[in-house]
Amino acid sequence: MRRIILAGNWKMHKTQAEALEFLQGFCHAVQETPEDRELVLCVPFTALGVMSKNLHGTRIRLGSQNIHWEESGAFTGEISAPMLLEMGVTYAIVGHSERRQYFGETDDTVNKRLLAAQKHGMTPILCVGESKEQRDAGQTEAHIYSQLEKDLANVDEKNLVVAYEPIWAIGTGDTCDAKEANRVIGLIRAQLSTPDVPIQYGGSVKPDNIDEIMAQPEIDGALVGGASLKPDAFARIANYQ
């Protein structure tokens, strides 16, 4: 059985006070959300402590937006698995296109981060996806296959989530057509050796397109940026029809 996972990626948004304010509205709005939908909030490192305390006893799981492969060391600006585990973090986004694009993340470092998360019992959410130039040049499939092959070397697919995030659809309002996202996610699934890996779609997911996205047979959830910052909008996404 493939799990359904709706995850918010807050990116570099929200102070601790703002995070708490979000929770007040959100927790109430997801009280009736079907139990088989997993809800995850991937928040900035600085909000993990306050979120951890306030999510205790709720169904909402906590995620980080990155994870380093060493447990400690001289790696300024990084965060390790033991530090995240202490905060109750169970999911870690790895290889988001913004990390690859702006912070020099490579398939090699993505692979190391995935392995580190799994080694410590956390579930990594691996992001893959093509740029507009790659799509226009007909390289979508080849690019994603290459990412999967390198990123997933020695990775245990039984404890993994993949997010297909076409870069051109992130933060642009230009959502990938639901059927096209379904097609690419089907191709990703065919590349994996474990059929049950949950595969999400990410890129301008909103309350007004989530129903169509979740109606697609290959899509097991969403990784949501902008719309996960508003309690009502993210609750509507969690409560898709």
Binding site for ligand 13P (CB under 6 A): 9, 96, 165, 170-171, 202-205, 223-227
- Asked about 38 being catalytic, the answer comes back as no
CB of 72 to ligand 13P, least distance (A): 27
- Per annotation, catalytic residue among 38, 98, 105, 165: 165
Closest separation between CB of residue 213 and ligand 13P, Å?
A: 11
Q: Which residue is nearest to ligand 13P (CB)?
A: 225
CB of 57 to ligand 13P, least distance (A): 27
From 68, 96, 105, 218, active-site residue: 96
Question: In terms of CB distance, is 124 or 202 closer to ligand 13P?
Answer: 202
Cβ 81 vs Cβ 117: under 8 Å:
yes
Q: Decide whether 92 or 227 has the Cβ nearer to ligand 13P.
A: 227
| Catalytic status, residue 96 | yes
Residue whose CB is less far from ligand 13P, 82 or 171: 171
- Least separation in angstroms between residue 110's CB and ligand 13P is 14
Nearer to ligand 13P, 213 or 227 (CB): 227
User: Active-site positions?
Assistant: 96, 165
